[in-house]
Amino acid sequence: MKFSLPLLTLTILIEVFAGQILQGKQESLLLFPMFLISIPVINSVGGNIGSVLGARIASGLHVGYISLNLSDKEIHDNFFISLLIGFITYLILAIVIYFVALLGNLTEDIALIEFIAIFVLTGVLLISTVAIVSVFTAFLSFKKGLDPDDMVAPIVTTFGDIMGILFLFLLFGLFGVGI
Amino acid sequence: MYAKEMVKQSLPLIIFCGLGAIVAGSTLGVMSDLIREIPGLIVIIPAIIAMRGNISTAFGSRLGSAYHLGVIDADNLWNKELMQNIIGSLVLSFLVSIIIGILAYITSLFLRVAPNPIKIILIVLIAGIISGLILTILTIGIVYLAFKRGYDPDNITGPALATFGDIVTMICIFGSAFLVEVMI
């Protein structure tokens, strides 16, 4: 456990910055609690899909059916399947969150369609970014002789947490909700 | 065909983990009054969840490897190896919790928010240690059940911790923020 402290501290530092972005936008979040509920969901799904993709690429590189080449067809297939899984998951969860919020009287002025659009677009942007980071992390660590299995999950989840929050506020702004 | 298989195998589990995250998110939604009253509280939330996820998953996969190496099994679970892992993960939780509290306080000062440093550090410490204890016990329970049924613990602890870890941690943050706000 000795070796994990420096890496964990770096992770924590990045997460504290994610937290500071939340604090900066605290008023909008408290005004629209539906988005407060969404944050752990967006980040958890993004981290899971990114980690699964990374683990698959790591196994492929270890066994040899994926080559260290960005035009590898296997890589493209995995990338698009991750996007597809992300799209379906975010769509279903958006509907569930909306109705959970409806039960708790938290829907405020947002229509179901508008919420789904913000949530799913955030998700698709996040999955695209996380998938690219996942592929590059797997490639780079494999090239440097490190085991991608140890590297991908922590890097992808940490990076995904901060990007998920940034994308959510970006779409918040684009749709003119809150702020 | 292999695409279909990948969707079929991972989609249900990812949706299930997402539903777990909605429970964690709803706990966060219920905390909105506390977030308003305690400046800095929202800053520490992503960090505590990330710490818990990292430490618990490492603990779970260490138990899985120990099982594969034959160091522990269902009849011989409570041994020195397990104790060392438990103490290691709790000491790490303690240290990282203090680091989170200090980092959250210092970065807040730069952004001209002035949280109460004692409150923030206490909230992280209590939430970090208690969620650590609960998840350690939960992990050992899951590994034990996996042994008994002849499953590979490596396939079970990851998704189980991803689903329940965030919920347990968020409830612990809520409880500890409430406790500290009432006491101090």
Cα(B29)–Cα(A39) distance, integer angstroms: 10
pLDDT greater at residue A149 or residue A76: A76
pLDDT tens, residue by residue, A21-34: 999 999 989 988 89
pLDDT in the model for residue A136: 92
CATH at B29: 1.10.357.20
pLDDT in the model for residue A179: 47
How far is the CA of A164 from the CAs of A41, A120, A127, A129, B7, in angstroms? 10, 12, 9, 10, 23
Q: Is residue B160 part of a domain?
A: yes
Q: Is residue B137 part of a domain?
A: yes
In the predicted model, is pLDDT for residue A14 greater than 90? yes
**Domains recognised in chain A with CATH numbers:** 49-174 (1.10.357.20)
Q: Is residue B5 part of a domain?
A: no
Contact A85 B89 (CB under 8 A): no
Percent of chain A with pLDDT over 90: 60
Q: Which of B1, B13, B26 should one mutate to test binding to chain A, selecting the residue with the greatest count of A CBs within 10 A?
A: B26
B50 touches chain A (CB under 8 A): yes
Residue A87's beta-bridge partner residues?
none
Three-class DSSP category at B114: coil
pLDDT greater at residue B20 or residue B151: B20
Smallest CA–CA distance, residue B36 to chain A, in Å, is 8
Q: Is residue B157 part of a domain?
A: yes
Q: What is the mean pLDDT of residues A9-22?
A: 95
pLDDT in the model for residue B69: 85
Count how many domains chain B has: 1
Q: Is residue B177 part of a domain?
A: yes
User: What spatial distance separates the first Cα and last Cα of chain A, rounded to whole Å?
Assistant: 43
The mean of the pLDDT values for chain B is 91
pLDDT greater at residue B64 or residue B103: B103
Q: Give the residue numbers spanning the domain of B173.
A: 23-183
Three-class DSSP category at A12: helix
